[in-house]
Amino acid sequence: MGQRKHLTQFEVERILEMAKKSPNSERDYCLVYMSFVHGLRVSEASHLRLSDLDLGGKTLYIQRLKCGFSTNHPLLGYEIHAIKAWLQVRKKLKGAEESNWLFLSRYGKPLTRQRIYQIINQLGQLANISVRSHPHMLRHACGFSLANRGIDTRLIQDYLGHCNIRHTVRYTASNSERFQGIWKSIRNRQPVTHFGKNISGAILEDEILMEKMEVSGIDVDSIQLDIRSTLSQSDRTD
């Protein structure tokens, strides 16, 4: 069985908690937060520039790679707070004034892809994540999180910059949230006919079971009473 390729929202939150405790807490927290919220590829994160930020207008320009759809994303309120906290630390780094790169090392050099991989992996280990964490898992986590919120597939495609919607469908197709209430919705359908009876869809499976038991010569009167009672209680608690 292949290893899971995305982080859950709980795991992202755990990694963010560990980022707060890292030696470069402001930078690492901002890096993880923005990578998740904007679904950044590792190279997109490493190539973010100060000039891509518009804190006054609360927007971020994202230059997507792989012929992706580049666009402006809104900046969230808490995200702006995290960015400002990092910028306060960043401006004290050697050579920071001459650099347009958003994420710098302690020595004022732009973070490389390899270093970002290392940061995310180390934070994942500290957070006791069961799978090996890497930056692209944050991008996938973003896609699944948006799908779990019922966001339209086309909008997710544009948000993540996918040029082909087939790459986006993985999030909505694997989203268990879309199956929530699928059996409950059957109760609202028109009655269906089964072996000459008009029965509601909610108890269709029970009626089929009862008929099979009757054919086998099993007395089902008491069983039916128990099932109807259970269904009635379930209806009141739904």
Buried-state track 180-207, b at ≥16 Cβ within 10 A, e below 16 = eeeeeeeeeeeeeeeeeeeeeebbeebb
Catalytic annotation present for 194: no
Q: Note if 140 is an active site residue.
A: no
d(CA 223, CA 42): 59
Contacts of the segment 105-114: beta carbons below 8 A, 24+ positions apart: 106/24, 110/46, 111/31, 111/46, 112/46, 113/42, 113/43, 113/46
Assess whether 29 carries a catalytic annotation. Answer: no
Instruction: Assess whether 66 carries a catalytic annotation.
Output: yes
Active-site residue, from 27, 90, 139, 140? 139
Residue from 109, 115, 136, 167 carrying the catalytic annotation: 136
- Give the active site residue among 66, 84, 189, 212: 66
Q: Is 162 a catalytic residue?
A: yes
- Of these residues, 41, 47, 90, 140, which one is catalytic? 41
Locate tokens 């699928």: which residue?
Answer: 182
Phi, psi of 97 (to 5 degrees): -65, -30
Active site residue 84: no
- The closest of 165, 131, 163, 159 to 145, measured between CA atoms, is 159
Rounded CA separation 88/186 (Å): 56
Active site residue ranges: 41, 66, 136, 139, 162, 171
